[in-house]
Structure 1
Amino acid sequence: MNTSRRSALGVITSSATAFLLTETPMAQPMPVTEAIFCIPGMWDGRSDFIRRVVTHEPKGRFMFAGMVLADMQEKEHVGLEVQPRDPQIKRAFELAGQGKLTEAALAAIDRHASVAYLRAPPRLLEERAKVAKFTKLLESVGGLAIKVESTGVAHTWERWSQLVSGTAFDLYAAVVTLVADRDHYYSCGMHNFSLPDCEVPRTLSPDAAAELMNRFNHWRLTETPVLADQHTFSLTSTAPRYRIQLEADARHAADEPFFNPHGLWRLSVA
């Protein structure tokens, strides 16, 4: 599986502070997907991967059978596949790293022997400790770096560890990216939290668009408001108001890892 992304909007900016919301809430049940993580590694195929997992200290705590990686002590598991070397993976990490992966890191990734794909439920706020544990295990047994396959953003292990163990906004920054097309700026990756993404008009400056999207997404992630079409949203009492409308994700095919089955909130000036 190899999914590179278009250029991201820029650096994730500030966290949420103050918001205004109007009108009566309404909820709609939505389908779910998976959070998928790509980890190229130095293990020489599935048998070598299994050997490294079961001999990892403390021996016998972790097991890999079928397509399940399990922590026998904590009775937890995630889905996992081991696939052959992918000659395109260096380029995929280069694009997804958005200039933050060094040439040395990319060269190491290019020397990978096989690739692991870890799958977790799309509830990363609740699942973060489990995901952090299993990705740390993959690092320890020879994983070289990590790419959020369901978003298309890559990190060094040091950066990933800092983000996944940090605040809710750090976790958001780990798995959500901001992208531009001809008419809109939009986020990609909120389906990793089982939430819709958002988009704003391209008439905004890149900095203003990033601020609006990041704060809108972070607020929904941490405050869990129940929203409906025609609600209005504003950063402050004096800032512009935006009317929201839930739309289907028309940018990605339903079988693509980037696809958000929950759709996206379109923010238009009210």
Structure 2
Amino acid sequence: MKKSKNVKFAALMLFVCAVLFCMKPVGVQASTMQTINTKRPCKSYDITGDNKKDSIQTKWAFDEYVSVIVNGKTIYKDKTPIEYDPTVRYCRFENGTPFLFIESYGVNELAQATIVYYKNSKPKSINLDFGDYGWLYGVSDLSVSGNTFTVQYSLMTGSTGFTRLKPCVFVYKDGDIKRKGHNVYDIAALDRYTTGHEMLRTSYVSTARKLTAYNDITTKDRAFSIKKGAKIKITKIYYNRKTLLVGVEYNGKFGWVKGIKRIVAYKKPLFKNLAFGG
């Protein structure tokens, strides 16, 4: 009889532990990400963060712009030319904070990708573009887990050509959404042409002219010079919406090289045989 009571008690404890393990603290929700139709006002989701369903809609004009309208008010407008319907994903962190991820395509490249959210009842946006220094060519491996949002994207910059970045992580912190690493991006690989005009994915390139590398992103102190035709490894990009720097490794040393805008990439490239397009 005593053994039977012990078995029942043990079973009860296991059940209680299982319930406690599955329970979440008050206010914590499951993180989520789902594609929504916003051609007409979508009234099924809260985007402002007040726990009330809002009207969410996107409008766009061929080769002109895409805009986001919430409760009848335009909260975001991107004038980058697009040529296809934008894809809108409604996302929510585990803490309940909602945001939108919007991507829109042109003919040859991704025109724009943007995170749109509210902070203190005011709309904010994070645009993933690279301004005059380059543009996006595609996004992949999107995920929302806990209070983080992860996305991997490919670029075409005037400095590095077709460039695939390592996954970028955005985190919710102190009432805001910020990207880990801030303005520094890690490079997964570059595409360049071989002598037979075949595409090769690599991190190593040869310099097209003599270059100067600097110790840090201020570019005040010279670190070393790189001769024309030298083989280097490109590992990072720094971009702060005003300037772009390329992080390079050469003869066991690391430094930052000043980047160039895409408009001059064909005339005076930094590196040889890089693959360009768009």
- Assess same fold via TM > 0.5: no
Structure with greater strand share of residues: 2
Structure 2 length-normalised TM: 0.30
TM-score by length of 1: 0.31
Structure of higher CA gyration radius = 2
Instruction: Pick 1 or 2: higher relative contact order, CA cutoff 8 A, min separation 6.
Output: 1
